[in-house]
Structure formats: C-alpha cells, structure tokens
Amino acid sequence: MRVLVIGSGAREHALLLALAGDPQVTALAAAPGNAGTAAIAEHPGLADATDPELVVALAQRWRADLVVVGPEAPLVAGVGDALRAAGIACFGPSAAAARIEGSKAFAKDVMTAAGVPTARSEAVRDLADLDRALDRFDPPYVVKDDGLAAGKGVLVTPDRDDARRHAAAVLDAGHPVLLESFLDGPEASLFCVVDGTTVVPLVPAQDFKRLGDDDAGPNTGGMGAYAPLPWAPEGLVDDVVDRIIAPVVTELAARGTPFSGLLYAGLALTSSGPQVIEFNCRFGDPETQPVLALLRSSAASLLAAAADGRLAQELPPTWAPGAAVTVVVAAEGYPGAVRTGDVLRGADGHGVLHAGTRRRDDGAVVSSGGRVLSVVGTGDDLEDARRDAYDRLATVDLPGGQYRTDIARDAAAGRVAVPVS
C-alpha cells in the first residue's frame, strides 16, 4: 500500500511513524512534511495543502493508494471530496461533514438533533447583541470563535470584560461568536475512527491547552497530552460511543453527509456525565502523539478500512500496556508572534517528533513555527512515561524554547477525579 500523508506537524509525524512500521505499507510520503518526517517518508512537494486540485494531482502523480489528511483546513476546503471524486481512497471526511469542526454552530445543531449532552449555547453575529447575550450567561464565561481557530479561539474567564473583549475581537475579524455555559469536571479527548456507520474508538487521552504550568497563561493549540486515563470511570469509552459518537454519526448520515474519517470528541466529564465541549474532524494534536505511541495493531489497515467503508470487518485495534506522555516544545513568543530560525540540538533523538521545523542548506535543523517539537515518552505507568518524556526532553535544546513541566503530573499522582453529583 502506498500511503500519502497530508500535513507538516507533529501529528503527521506520529501518523507517519505508525505507518512506517507497518508491513502493509510499501511506500510512504509526506506533503509538505518537515525536517523530521524526511527521515521516514518521501517529500514530493505540495505548494498548498488546502487546494483540492493540487492535492489530487500530487496523489495521482505519486500513485497513492491511500491519502491520509492530517489537518482540518484541507478537509473543510474539500480535499477529501476531490480525492474520492478522482477515485483515490481518502481517510478524512467530506467538506459537508467536516463542518462538525468548521462551524461550532453547525456542530451544536447536530448535537441538539441527536440528543447529545452538551453545554447550553447561543450564537452572536452582531456586536450590538453581545451584551444582551452575555447577560444570559453566568461566569465563568466560555467564548468561542465559530470558525477554524487552530485550537486557540476559545476563552474561558470569570471576567465579563475579558469575555466581551475576546468576543468583540472575534466579531471584528468577521467570525460569529458562540457563548456557552461552563462545564465542570476534567476534560478528555476520545478519537473514533468512523466509516459513515461503524465506529471504532481509540484509547482516551487528555491534553493541556494553556501555555504554562498549572493552566496559567493563554490558550494554545496544545502543550502536551497523555494516554490512557487511569482516573476515567469504568465503561467511559463505551458510554461516550453509545450516547455521543454513534448518535452524531447517525444524525450526519441522516442529513446526507455521512462522516468518514476521524471524529474527535472533546469532552467534559461532569458530575452529570460526559458532555461535549467540541468536535473535531481529524486527529488531534498533541493527543495523537501518545495515542499512536501505544498502538500495536496495523494503522494502515485501520485507516484503509475506514476509507473503504469496511470497518465492520476490521479487527479492533490492540494496544501496548502502560502509558505514553507527550510534552510540546514551543518557540519563544508562542502563541503570539514567534521567533523562528533558531538551531535545534537533539531534534533527531528517539521519541522526538517534529512540527515547526525545516532543514537548512547546511544540514542544520531550525525552528520554523510556533509549536516546534513534541517529545514522547512511554512507560509501565504515567509516572514512568513522564520520566521518560522529560529525560528525552533534557537532550533537546531550542533557544528561548517553552514547555510545561506538569504534563500528566496530577494524573500520575492520583489527583484527577470526575466530580460526583
């Protein structure tokens, strides 16, 4: 099987590593890829991953049997539709189904129709309506950009003035705002591979959105993650699939927009049960890194079965015992204006996945984006995996680099629990 992965982040590096070790994969390519993926995959070149015609032309030229689309923007732009129209198998939903991430208001409408538990919400499209809408919510306020915001369009704050400023900035940028009621309880992410009807869950994970330790600082695209969740209630995955994922998949199919690909549920595990914070239409970053580090069965077989509509015939995934932890190294200035071009040392070590990197003509690996690397550790339990990840991180040097020191700390110490009603 010749597999082409679209994207350039650590999520795509993790996907490529899982596929590279799969005997079913005879050739592997990344487009555009990064300095790290070049060691395990061809880089045939792609000027714009959101241009369906360019992606189809590349897949045809490279003779891809399966295209795996990593980021959300190409999916929302219709890359999956174009590939399937050209007769090329694609892991990733149609543009219509990708609206589950591309529009939070659409996702809320789907959840309401499917009877899925989620926060009360209200869409605001005009600054003149904002204050009256805020009056209908209690602090802490949850303010979301209704469009794609790479995981950074959400503000949770007890301060009404901060909430108003964030909402006004989103509206000024031309995007609607979604106000939501706050959900208590720890957050969790559940990835499910879907072929339009059949749902195959992966192991649950938890990510860390804030920049600094103890959830201080601004929201980011994610500063780390771990899997599985030793504190999760028994039967959590089955409960989420039965009450949340399956009803949404059924509702999307009933609307004539069946979902095929990776459906990601961001959850709050509240005192009244799991509730949806958001849906994504693709593998999450950084949760993909620890989840795939634990996968032992064939990644290629699973993704191809979803693309071909035959998940019901596929054996369930198998997982390594133990745990995995990912720590993200970000550039100076992230999540604002970042410094790039810094030389990275230790970037080729085992467990180091590249995101915002490129290789200079002289062979040096330099930073080229906000989240630069993901460092993955594994172990018999979360404490072992944490130690492994931070030991690996100690061998990496990025001038001005930022990372959290508390990824999975509380879970490893038994300090995370679902509230009881």
Q: Which structure tokens are listed for 156?
A: 């949770």
Is 114 part of any domain?
no
Residues 176 and 272 in one domain: no
Residues 305 and 197 in one domain: yes
- Reference 167, options 176, 211, 135; nearest CA is 176
Tell me phi and psi for residue 353, to 5 degrees: -105, 135
Is 216 part of any domain?
yes
Is 45 part of any domain?
yes
For 134, what's the count of Cα atoms within 13 Å in the CB-facing half-sphere?
25
pLDDT, position 121? 84
Is 116 part of any domain?
no
Residues 55 and 81 in one domain: yes
Residues 266 and 345 in one domain: no
Distance CA 218, CA 209 (A): 8
pLDDT, position 209? 95
Residues 146 and 230 in one domain: no
Residues 300 and 363 in one domain: no
Kindly state the helix (H) or strand (E) to which residue 133 belongs, with its residue range.
Answer: helix 127-135
- Reference 117, options 244, 238, 235, 234; nearest CA is 244
Task: For CA atoms 305, 309, 313, 317, give the dihedral sign.
Answer: positive
Amino acid at 288: T
pLDDT, position 183? 87
Q: Which structure tokens are listed for 22?
A: 């799969």
Last residue in a domain, options 283, 313, 343:
313
Distance CA 417, CA 253 (A): 35
Residues 340 and 390 in one domain: yes
Is 151 part of any domain?
yes
Last residue in a domain, options 78, 94, 110:
94
Residues 303 and 337 in one domain: no
Distance CA 193, CA 92 (A): 10
Is 102 part of any domain?
no
Residues 193 and 175 in one domain: no
Tell me phi and psi for residue 198, to 5 degrees: -80, 140
Task: For CA atoms 393, 351, 336, 278, give the dihedral sign.
Answer: negative
Instruction: Assign residue 231 the CATH number of its domain.
Output: 3.30.470.20
Last residue in a domain, options 282, 313, 344:
313
Q: For residue 265, what are the CA distances in angstroms to 57, 58, 97, 223, 327?
A: 32, 31, 14, 18, 21
Contact 27/4 with Cβ under 8 angstroms?
no
Tell me phi and psi for residue 19, to 5 degrees: -75, -35
pLDDT digits (tens), the chain, 421 positions:
999 999 999 999 999 999 998 999 999 999 999 999 999 999 999 999 999 999 999 999 999 999 999 999 999 999 999 999 999 999 999 999 999 999 888 999 999 999 999 988 888 999 989 999 999 999 999 998 876 655 556 888 999 999 999 999 999 988 899 898 888 899 999 999 999 999 999 999 999 999 999 999 998 999 999 999 999 999 999 999 999 999 999 999 999 999 999 999 999 999 889 999 999 999 999 999 999 999 999 999 999 999 999 999 999 999 999 999 999 999 999 999 999 999 999 999 999 999 999 999 999 999 999 999 999 999 999 999 999 999 999 999 999 999 999 999 999 999 999 998 7
- Reference 419, options 209, 185, 214; nearest CA is 185
Q: How far apart are the first and last CA of the chain?
A: 50
Q: What is the DSSP pairing of strand 357-359 with strand 365-367?
A: antiparallel
Instruction: Assign residue 132 the CATH number of its domain.
Output: 3.30.1490.20
Those residues whose C-beta lies under 8 Å from the C-beta of residue 102, and which sit 6 or more positions away, are 72, 76, 95, 147, 148, 281
Is 101 part of any domain?
no
Residues 301 and 198 in one domain: yes
Residues 176 and 199 in one domain: no
Q: Give residue for tokens 């295209």.
A: 67
Q: Which structure tokens are listed for 223?
A: 């500063």
Question: How many domains, the chain?
Answer: 4
Is 238 part of any domain?
yes
Can you give the residue range of the structural domain that contains 354? 323-412
Those residues whose C-beta lies under 8 Å from the C-beta of residue 122, and which sit 6 or more positions away, are 133, 136, 137, 178, 179
Residues 191 and 176 in one domain: no
Convert the pLDDT of each residue in 224-280 to its tens digit: 999 999 999 999 999 999 999 999 999 999 999 999 999 999 999 998 899 999 999
Instruction: Assign residue 378 the CATH number of its domain.
Output: 3.90.600.10
